[in-house]
Amino acid sequence: MASSLLNTQPSDVRPGKLLLFRYSAKYKETLPFYDKHPLCYVLATESGAFYGINLHYTKPANRMAIMRYIDENNDPTVITGYHKYLYGYVRSNFSEVPMSDWEKAFSLSLSEFVRVLGGIEMPVNIARYQ
């Protein structure tokens, strides 16, 4: 089911971009929690989906180190926050963070972690998981 709010072409999502967007996870009822507002560094794209690192799963002080790790061609799939995002579950346009603002974006607290219990979204503080 594609979102009626998605007005961005998948071609706008490309490896190397840092994006903010609204998301509703496909399996949200079975996940311990998820972020409704990812700060995602895009790694790869495919038909109907893209892969990236949601930097909100990492403490702000460690986000630049994650980017260096990726730049050194290390395996990004082992990083906490590596996800496959389905375009049909994106609930907003994509907002690209220019590279000149990455460091500022890394320090902001824009995440919206939730857990779904009995069909109700409950906020989650993930600090204890980081």
Mean pLDDT of the chain: 89
Q: Where are the domains of the chain?
A: 10-129
Listed in sequence order, the residues at least 6 apart from 87 whose beta carbon sits closer than 8 Å to its beta carbon are 2, 6, 10, 48, 49, 50
Give the containing element (helix H, strand E) for 57.
none
pTM, entire model: 0.87
The model's pLDDT over 49-108, given as tens digits with 9 standing for 90+, comes to 999 999 999 999 999 999 999 999 999 999 999 999 999 999 999 999 999 999 999 998
Q: Which pLDDT does position 35 carry in this prediction?
A: 96
Listed in sequence order, the residues at least 6 apart from 109 whose beta carbon sits closer than 8 Å to its beta carbon are 60
17-33 mean pLDDT: 94
What is the distance of C-alpha 38 from the center of its chain?
3
- With a cut of 90, say whether residue 3 has pLDDT above it: no
